[in-house]
Amino acid sequence: MSSPENLFTRFKAAITSYSLPERFTYPFYYQPHPLCELAMQELQQHLATQINWQHNFGLEGDTDSANGKMFGVLVVKNSDGELGYLSAFSGKLADSNHLPGFVPPVFDMLAKDSFFLVGQQQLNQLTRQLKPLEANPEIAVLQQQLAAEQTTCDQKIALHRATMIEQRKVRKQQRIAGQNNLNDAEFELLKNELAQQSIQLKNELRDLTAHWQQQVEQATLKLQQLTDVIDDIKQQRKSLSVDLQQQLFASYQFLNSSGEQRNLAELFLNTAQLTPPAGAGECAAPKLLHYAFQHGLTPVALAEFWWGISPKSQIRQHKNIYGACLGKCQPILEHMLQGIQLDDNPLLTNPAAGKTIDIVYQDEQMVIINKPAEFLSVPGKNINDSIYVRMQQAFPDAKGPLIVHRLDMSTSGLMVIALTKQAHQNLQKQFINRTVEKRYVALLDGELNEQQGMIRLPLRVDLDDRPRQLVCYEYGRIAETRWQLISTDNKQSKVYFYPKTGRTHQLRVHAAHINGLNTAIVGDDLYGSKANRLHLHAESLTLDQPVTKQRLHFQLDADF
């Protein structure tokens, strides 16, 4: 096992003027402590100049095969009371779990002769066995034969049943005619004859069904002789994969400050996903804390940053600070940080406290308001104060859902409120039919080279890191935004956004994504960098009055 002194990095710069934080970093949303900022600067300098290993971060040259990485620093105090820091990367780096100066993984699944590699070899061997079996052309031939036999069977039986129905109608007519025209003896003979005809048709159906079922069964048996072998290997592979996964979960053992260990399976047992998502336990933060607890180092402050090109789906800016992901890290870090005093969770603080809502327009059917930035449209998981609650208080006699559309919590600007059920239905229909005209103004943290354009990037929620959104062409919902450059000043661009759709965080993602404008909105704490506020404002709104149908236009200039 590595000595803690090997990875305990002393600050190159003097730190005597730095004060220590009173409590440890709340890992999911934070402003990094100055000591962490210094540690990150030193680590980034190392990344930019080291020559011991090679990894294509996409910062220069080839970007097709490039991938950025999340790095973390943990400021710690050793047994002598000396301050330093530990460094870590998420996942693998330069195709390795181990690089000089970085803490090792909590569990090294790539260690030589590890059960994981052995299991992977067994899985690969089963996959290799499957490929020629699945590629056997005889399977396709037999599948076609079986389909043909089944089709013929269904057609023959259906044709015979149709004949039986028609014959039943004929016999019924003959029975009626006989009853009217024949004497009792003749009518009895007719009934017996008709009954025999019915029995004969039923027997023919029985024999026909048996014959074609036998044909189908024979074709099925021939096919199964080939597919049963494939299914058996697939089942072996599935069972091996499940066993390997459970063994892997049990091998990731995480320490906390009390020396308690819990594995991945235990930590995710009571979560919504029940089982750990892919990559759980491989992030920088759990690695850093585990190594610190393992070697008697006291955690002081934590920070993580992105280095390199952004992924194609997520939005990650080079050198930007990011909190730990909720889906993968929250259950792990909650255990690891037990007993350690943390900074307050800022997401539990009501950002709307003390703020007022200005009414721009009001009639009997609707109200147009100016929603302040950092103000929820509807009650959240932890905070009830919202536009909805304030409007309920302001208009206690209003009927219906009130909220017609939403603005993101951090977005300011014009928002319409319905005071009656009928008005709500009408206004909502206008939004659905896209007859409402909306224009947003935003300040971007970069210069644009074009004057206008259209962004089409489908969006879905990041299941591992809510409420962030991902660009996803497979499962994402269509999202379209037209934009127009207003001005450029001081390396920032002011733009108009005309959203055609209204997806969560649409404008923020379309601005920040590498395939969008590739420059985040100023103050975007999710997709860019924090500032005094998110510089995004719903400036203009045009719609029809729900009763009079008069076209109304409202404009409210942004304060930035």
Catalogue the active-site residues: 408
| Cα Rg of the chain, angstroms | 35
Are 433 and 279 in contact by the 8 Å Cβ rule? The answer is: no
Contacts of 429 (CB under 8 A, 6+ apart): none
Residue 146 burial (CB count, 10 A): 20
- Residue 44 and residue 41: Cα distance in Å, rounded? 5
Residue 425: C-alpha distances to residues 273, 311, 377, 419, 432 (Å):
36, 41, 18, 11, 10
CB burial of 324-351 (b: ≥16 within 10 Å; e: otherwise) equals: bbbbbbbbbbebbbeeeeebeeeeeebb
Tokens at 300, concatenated = 């002081």
- CA-to-CA distance for 428 and 286, rounded, in angstroms? 46
From residue 194, alpha-carbon distances to 175, 200, 372 in Å are 8, 10, 87
Distance, in Å, from the CA atom of 25 to the CA atom of 546, rounded to the nearest integer, reads 50
Chain centre to alpha carbon of residue 226: 39
- Rounded CA separation 299/290 (Å): 10
Query: Hey, how many other C-beta atoms are within 10 angstroms of the C-beta on 424?
Result: 23
Strands (DSSP E) contained in 281-400 are 298-307, 321-322, 358-362, 366-371
Helix (H) or strand (E) holding 519: none
> What does 453-492 look like in DSSP terms, one character per residue?
EEEE--EEE-TTSTT-EEE-TTTPBP-EEEEEEEEEETTE
